[in-house]
């Protein structure tokens, strides 16, 4: 955008201040208050006016380049921020997945322990002969439920 303005500015007449006077330069002609004063100026004055114009144009070019560098830096910063956001999102997703895996492992471990404990208690009661047929049926049902829970939690673990 600035470059277009700058080129448009270059294509038309250029105004420059020299010794407190405003001169307008069109091609090789120098005007003061819309009057051509090219022939009335000395060669040295013409050169100084053109040098002032060159300095002004160099300043314009420098400011355009500075604006361009600033715009580029802003774009790079936005790109870096976007990449940072993506990385943070990936990190968060990985942490969530890890937490889910840890929870699944914990649930599996608990299910295995409950199943093993129920089997041990059943075996202990059975060996002592303290199980009635109804109690034995309840214990076998309980062990089967714990086994189902263990299998289910193992599936979630994968």
pLDDT digits (tens, 9 = 90+) for 123-154: 999 999 888 999 999 999 999 999 999 999 99
* Whole-number Cα distances in Å, 102 to 146, 149, 157: 20, 17, 9
Residues forming a β-bridge with 22: 17
Q: How confident is the model at residue 99 (pLDDT cuts 50, 70, 90)?
A: very high
124: which 2 tokens?
């202990």
Give the SS3 label for residue 35. strand
11-58 pLDDT, tens per residue? 567 888 888 888 898 888 889 888 888 888 888 888 888 898 899 999
Q: Is 6:12 a contact under the CB 8 Å cutoff? A: no
| Lowest-confidence region among 38-47, 72-81, 84-93, 147-156 | 38-47
């Amino acid at each position: 955008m600035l470059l277009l303005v700058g080129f448009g500015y270059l294509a038309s007449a250029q105004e420059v201040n020299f010794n407190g006077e405003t001169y307008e330069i069109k091609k090789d002609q120098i005007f003061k208050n819309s009057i051509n004063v090219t022939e009335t100026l000395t060669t040295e004055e013409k050169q100084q006016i053109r040098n002032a114009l060159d300095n002004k144009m160099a300043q314009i070019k420098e400011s355009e380049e500075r604006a361009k560098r600033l715009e580029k830096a802003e774009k790079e910063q936005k790109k870096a921020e976007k990449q940072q956001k993506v990385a943070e999102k990936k990190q968060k997703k990985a942490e969530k997945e890890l937490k889910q895996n840890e929870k699944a492992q914990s649930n599996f471990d608990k299910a295995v322990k409950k199943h093993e404990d129920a089997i041990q208690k059943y075996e202990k009661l059975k060996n002592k002969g303290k199980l009635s047929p109804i109690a034995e049926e309840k214990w076998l049902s309980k062990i089967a439920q714990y086994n189902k829970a263990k299998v289910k939690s193992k599936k979630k673990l994968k």
